[in-house]
Amino acid sequence: MKKLKVPMGELALIEQIRRGSRRNSPTVPLGIGDDCAILRPPAGREVLVTTDFTLENRHFRRDLHPAESVGHRTLARGLSDLAAMGASPLAAFLSLALPGKMLATKSGQAWVERFFLGLRALGDQYSVPLAGGDTAESPADLILADIILVGTAPLGKSLRRSGAKAGDALYCTGRLGGAAAELAGMFAKGRMARVGATEGHPHLFPEPRIGVGAALLRRGLATGCLDISDGLSTDLTHLCVESGVNAEIDAATVPIHPLAAKLGPEAGLKMALHGGEDYELLFAAPATRKMPRSIAGVEITRIGRLTRRQQRQPQIALVNADGSRRPLEAAGWEHFSAPPARKS
252 is a site residue for its own copies (CB under 8 A): no
76 is a site residue for its own copies (CB under 8 A): no
| Residue nearer to its own copies on the CB measure, 95 or 125 | 95
| Residue nearer to its own copies on the CB measure, 250 or 334 | 334
Which residues, 6+ apart, have CB-to-CB distance to 205 below 8 Å? Answer: 69, 72, 73, 76, 195, 198, 199
DSSP 74-130: HHHHHHHHHHHTTPEEEEEEEEEEE-TTGGGSHHHHHHHHHHHHHHHHHHHHTT--E
103 is a site residue for its own copies (CB under 8 A): yes
Q: What would the x/- binding string for its own copies be over residues 156 to 195, using CB under 8 A? A: --x-xxx---------------------------------
- In angstroms, the Cα distances linking 154 to 47, 158, 184 are 9, 7, 40
10 is a site residue for its own copies (CB under 8 A): yes
- List the one residue out of 234, 238, 232 whose CA is nearest residue 255: 232
Residues 218-237 interacting with its own copies (rule: CB under 8 A): 226-227, 229-230
142 is a site residue for its own copies (CB under 8 A): yes
**Contact window for its own copies (CB under 8 A) among 51-59, 175-183, 187-195, 203-211:** 51-59
Beta bridge partners of 91: 150
87 is a site residue for its own copies (CB under 8 A): yes
Which residues, 6+ apart, have CB-to-CB distance to 161 below 8 Å? Answer: 224, 225, 226, 238, 239, 242, 243
Residues 306-325 interacting with its own copies (rule: CB under 8 A): none
133 is a site residue for its own copies (CB under 8 A): yes
Which residue in 68, 69, 76, 93 binds its own copies (CB under 8 A)?
93
| Residue nearer to its own copies on the CB measure, 168 or 230 | 230
